[in-house]
Amino acid sequence: MSDHQHDHDHDHHFPTPESYGLLDRLVNTLVRKGIVSMTELEQTRVETEKGNPQHGAKMVVKAWLDPDYKNLLLRDGVAAAEAIGHSMVGAPPLGVLENTPEIHHMIVCTLCSCYPRKLLGYPPDWYKSSAYRARAVRNPRSLLDEWGIKLQPQTEIRVVDSTADYRWMVLPMRPSGTENLSEEELVKLVTRDCLVGAGLPDSKVD
């Protein structure tokens, strides 16, 4: 048993006070030297914050409703995102993995925190946590149990470690009993966590 366990089995959620000043000094230095500009930083941030789990949810629902779009989504995630009007310029390839009654996918990046940011926005804290990165490839079922997610007995869990150039998203199964829901209502069922395998879409809109 590591003697580090007491020190770091939980992550630090907040930067130290010193880091705020350090960031300011770094930015000011780089601006002063003409290496970056404040405008570039602000515009980049605006662009980044166009990423949102809603885009992923819309793509999932479109795939539920349109078999041709589903084929595109599974073949070329970037093209599928662009097809719904979301720019993926500069983004790495996007792989989409389909959940079936036999397979439930769970996405992780054990080495850092690779996540489809261009599409979905900032990754959640839990996804970046040391605990998730350590446990997901070791015992994924213990995580699903902890989260109260019940899979069918025949469902295998497939953990996907994002170690290289692809970013990964899950195409969850459409829940039963949703035949009468509109496309908009269906989109509300697909949460951010569903898109990385940490949730299953509900069958009812709240």
Partner 1 sequence: MNLQVPVTAPLFKPGDMVRIPLVWPEQKGPCHIRTPAYIRGHSAQIICHFGAFPNPEELAFGKPAQLIHLYHVAVSLSDLWDDDAKQDASLLIEIYEHWLEKLSP
Partner 2 sequence: MSKKYKNPIAAGHHDLGGSQDFDNAKVNLDDESIDFEDFGARVDALRLVLGAKKIMSVDELRRGVEAIPREEYFQTQYYERWLRSMIYILLEKGLIEAKDIA
Q: How far apart are CA 80 and CA 195, in angstroms?
A: 15
Q: Which of 150, 155, 203, 148 is nearest to 179 (CA)?
A: 203
117 sits in which H/E element:
helix 117-120
Q: Is residue 30 at the binding interface for partner 1, with CB under 8 A as the rule?
A: no
Q: CA–CA distance from 118 to each of 52, 56, 82, 102 (Å)? A: 8, 11, 11, 30
Q: How far apart are CA 185 and CA 189, in angstroms?
A: 7
Q: Which two tokens stand for residue 172?
A: 């969850």
Size of the site for partner 1 (CB under 8 A): 21
Residue in 110, 119, 127 with CA at minimum distance from that of residue 167: 119
From the CA atom positions of the chain, what is the Rg in Å? 19
Work out whether 140 is an interface residue with partner 1 (CB under 8 A).
yes
176 has catalytic annotation: no
- Active-site residue identified among 112, 130, 142, 182: 112
Shortest Å, Cβ 80 to partner 2: 23
Establish if 111 lies at the interface with partner 1 (CB under 8 A): yes
Active site residue 194: no
Is 9 near partner 2 (CB under 8 A)?
Answer: yes
Chain residues 70-109 in contact with partner 1, contact rule CB under 8 A? 93, 97
C-alpha–C-alpha distance, residues 24 and 29, integer Å: 8
Q: Is 134 in the site for partner 2 (CB under 8 A)?
A: yes
16 versus 154: smaller Cβ distance to partner 2: 16
Single out the residue of 8, 10, 75, 138 in contact with partner 1 (rule: CB under 8 A): 138
Binding site for partner 2 (CB under 8 A): 1-2, 4-5, 7-16, 19-20, 22-23, 25-27, 29-30, 33, 35-36, 40-42, 44-45, 48-49, 90, 110-113, 122, 124-126, 128-138, 143, 146-147, 161, 193, 198-199
